[in-house]
């Protein structure tokens, strides 16, 4: 009897333990960058990636084709299928190099500058526009929209510290 009470107490404690990846907007954004990054040959933790996103969340890449801007919209599952093999085969590291954040109630918008490297070499820098919402228990990624310097020019003034 004592063992079953102890096991039940442990199970309840584990259920109520907040996920460190979703306790704050900062933790969620850091987890997003961490989970897609890694050396060549390293499998990404796609279960961790997917738990960051709210149901119905979208990811959108903005790229230029000539003078036209093309929006490539996808679900997190689409992103895994489309980008996962490349990330794991080539090695990809993306780090945040600056951020502006606005918050109102349960909504946060982060303008997050990044630097991406493939095989250890600079691939691109750009901005992730990240929208998050809290349900009172955790933070959810609602959308991530990004574009890079290769297509859109220099990052916005003041977004990146002088050291980046």
Share of the chain above pLDDT 90, in %: 85
Q: Under CATH, which number does the domain 20-152 receive?
A: 3.10.450.50
Query: For residue 163, is pLDDT > 80?
Result: no
Structure pTM?
Answer: 0.87
pLDDT at 9: 47
For residue 9, give both structure tokens. 């107490």
For residue 94, give both structure tokens. 């993306």
| Strands 68-74 and 53-65, bridge-based pairing | antiparallel
Note the pLDDT tens digit of each residue in 73-89: 999 999 999 999 999 99
Estimate to the nearest angstrom the gap between the alpha carbon of 91 and the chain centroid: 17
Give every CB contact of residue 58 below 8 A, 6+ residues apart in sequence. 73, 74, 75, 142, 143, 144
């Amino acid at each position: 009897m004592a063992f079953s009470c102890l096991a039940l107490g442990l199970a309840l404690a584990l259920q109520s333990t907040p996920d460190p990846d979703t306790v704050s907007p900062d933790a969620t954004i850091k987890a997003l960058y961490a989970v897609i990054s890694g050396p060549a040959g390293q499998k990404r933790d796609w279960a961790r990636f997917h738990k960051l996103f709210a149901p119905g969340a979208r990811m959108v890449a903005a790229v230029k084709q000539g003078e036209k801007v093309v929006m490539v919209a996808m679900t997190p599952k689409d992103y895994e299928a489309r980008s996962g093999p490349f990330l794991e085969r080539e090695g990809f590291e993306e780090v945040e190099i600056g951020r502006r954040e606005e918050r109102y109630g349960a909504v946060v918008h982060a303008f997050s500058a990044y630097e991406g490297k493939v095989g250890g070499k600079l691939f691109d820098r750009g901005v992730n526009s990240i929208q998050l919402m809290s349900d009172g228990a955790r933070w959810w990624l609602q959308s991530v929209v990004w574009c890079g310097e290769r297509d859109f020019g220099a990052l916005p003034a003041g977004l990146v510290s002088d050291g980046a």
